[in-house]
Amino acid sequence: MTNRPFYFTWNHQPTADAADAFPVQHAEHDEFVLQDGRRVYDFLSTSFQTSFGHSHPVIKAAIQKQLDVMPIASPKSTFPLKQRVSEKLLQLFDLGPGKIFFTLSGSESVENALKMARQITGRTKIAARQKSYHGASLGALSVTGDWRNPPHFTIDDHTIRIPEPADDPSFEQGRNIIESAGSDSVAAIILETISGANGVAIPSQQWYDAVQSTCCERGIMLIMDEVLCGFGRTGPVFAYQYYELKPDLVCTSKGVTGGYVPFGAVWTGERIVDYYDTEKLACGLTNYAHPLGLAALDAVIDLLRDSAFLDNKLALEQLFATTMQELTSSPHVIDVRCRGLLAAIDLDCAAPTWSDCFEKGLHLYSKSNMIVVAPPFVSTVDRLKEALDILKQQIAGVTVA
Ligand SMILES: Cc1ncc(COP(=O)(O)O)c(C=O)c1O
């Protein structure tokens, strides 16, 4: 029996607390304040969602105001906030005519995108990358390619695994795998545009061009999972904008409300909108288009267009990119992959552990020989520089076993 009345997610449940558990008193701006008063820089934006820090006054005020006006709404109701935020979101996606399906998490965004693609194409199979994470619910986990899938007897007999872009730069193998499975049985290809905790893999334009043309030629839907890499995390608002992709569905969550309210949204293109103009939509959630989520998202969209916010974000991105570039020539560093305010650093030996870094005042992700960092967009250049200096020292101090 463990000593806590709750579970730690994705973790062993030891008698002492999980290895990366930490006692927090409160959090403000870009820091956690621990129960003993120490301050720890949130170098991972918590779990990649706290893009706007822990205490953004504009997001907090929007939620507080909505709490007084209407904290709950029927999924069937229409109200100005729902209409306005949907329209603003469609503009932000900038993918042409479409509609929004609201959710409460990244897993639900993926789950509903998969359901729509399968229903509309009448096909059952989904192609997904070998190294990927798409969520913890059974459907999203079935297309997930990492350690979180195998314990759950997932329903992935409908999943086709395509190789990592680095191992198949022309997508020839991926295309052959899809053809062998019967391309007319493949409903969709689901991809994190740029992957997150599985190593910030950044596919080439050539790879994405081949994926896009395979989808177009074979009537396969393209689902971009932008739950982690979207909403400004990798530079532009969405990572698919780098590659000028034309997806059928885009899944978002995490940063959409800065994490202040559990929320998500799926963009659906014309093919899907047209289908549901005549067929019944068999998807829904009790808390669909929750007003507190809508209010937070409304504020976040405004922030993403605010010039002072964007100037600061750009300055952080420049410092981050320069430092990551410098790190490529540091001892022990064998590869650095960086876009916007997301980076993975591979070492030739065991990376400094989460606890080592936490002791030095940084909360980040560390697994075997890799570190992943994703600072909040609202940090100051000085605070980010301080955190990057500590990170450099930690990396310089690693010892090869
Ligand atoms: C790319 C990606 N998709 C989906 C999810 C699932 O999101 P959630 O944990 O909000 O269900 C995650 C979560 O880490 C993710 O990184």
Distance, CA 1 to ligand 1 centroid (Å)?
29
Tell me if the domain spanning 58-303 has CATH number 3.40.640.10.
yes
- Residue 46 sits at the vertex; the CA angle it makes with 132 and 381, to the nearest 5 degrees, is 110
pLDDT at position 30 is 98
pLDDT at position 21 is 87
Q: Express each pLDDT in 359-392 by its tens digit.
A: 999 999 999 999 999 999 999 999 999 999 999 9
Task: Using the predicted structure, report yes or no on whether residue 268 has a pLDDT greater than 90.
Answer: yes
d(CA 141, CA 56): 32
Q: Express each pLDDT in 80-130 by its tens digit.
A: 999 999 999 999 999 999 999 999 999 999 999 999 999 999 999 999 999
Any ligand 1 atom below 6 A from CB of 110: yes
Query: Looking at ligand 1, which residue's alpha carbon is closest to its atom 13?
Result: 135
Any ligand 1 atom below 6 A from CB of 106: yes
Taking the CB of residue 11, how many other CB atoms lie within 10 A of it?
12
Residues of the chain with CATH 3.90.1150.10: 307-396
**For ligand 1, mutation pick of 191, 227, 266 (most atoms within 8 Å of CB):** 227
pLDDT at position 13 is 84
Residue 375 corresponds to which amino acid?
A: P
pLDDT at position 1 is 53
Q: How many residues does the chain have?
A: 401
pLDDT at position 3 is 74
Residues 6 or more apart in contact with residue 285 via CB below 8 angstroms: 75, 102, 103, 104, 108
Query: Looking at ligand 1, which residue's alpha carbon is closest to its atom 4?
Result: 134
Query: Looking at ligand 1, which residue's alpha carbon is closest to its atom 3?
Result: 134
Any ligand 1 atom below 6 A from CB of 107: yes
Predicted confidence band at 398 (pLDDT cuts at 50, 70, 90)?
Answer: confident
Interaxial angle between packed helices 80-93 and 291-303, expressed in degrees from 0 to 180 and rounded to the nearest 10: 40
Between the alpha carbon of residue 191 and those of residues 23, 67, 94, 232, the distances in Å are 35, 36, 19, 18
Q: Express each pLDDT in 324-357 by its tens digit.
A: 999 999 999 999 999 999 999 999 999 999 999 9
Task: Using the predicted structure, report yes or no on whether residue 189 has a pLDDT greater than 90.
Answer: yes
Query: Looking at ligand 1, which residue's alpha carbon is closest to its atom 8?
Result: 106
Average pLDDT in the 181-204 region? Answer: 97
Distance, CA 139 to ligand 1 centroid (Å)?
13
Distance, CA 251 to ligand 1 centroid (Å)?
10
pTM for this model (two decimals): 0.97
Strands 333-339 and 342-347: antiparallel
Task: Using the predicted structure, report yes or no on whether residue 190 has a pLDDT greater than 60.
Answer: yes
Strands of the sheet containing 24-28, edge to edge, are 24-28, 31-34, 39-42, 362-363
Q: Express each pLDDT in 16-46 by its tens digit.
A: 667 788 999 999 999 999 999 999 999 999 9
Residues of the chain with CATH 3.40.640.10: 58-303
Any ligand 1 atom below 6 A from CB of 250: no
Atom from ligand 1 closest to the CA of residue 136: 11
Tell me if the domain spanning 307-396 has CATH number 3.40.250.10.
no
Atom from ligand 1 closest to the CA of residue 105: 10
* Proportion of the chain above pLDDT 70, given as a percent: 98
350 CB-side CA count, 13 A: 7
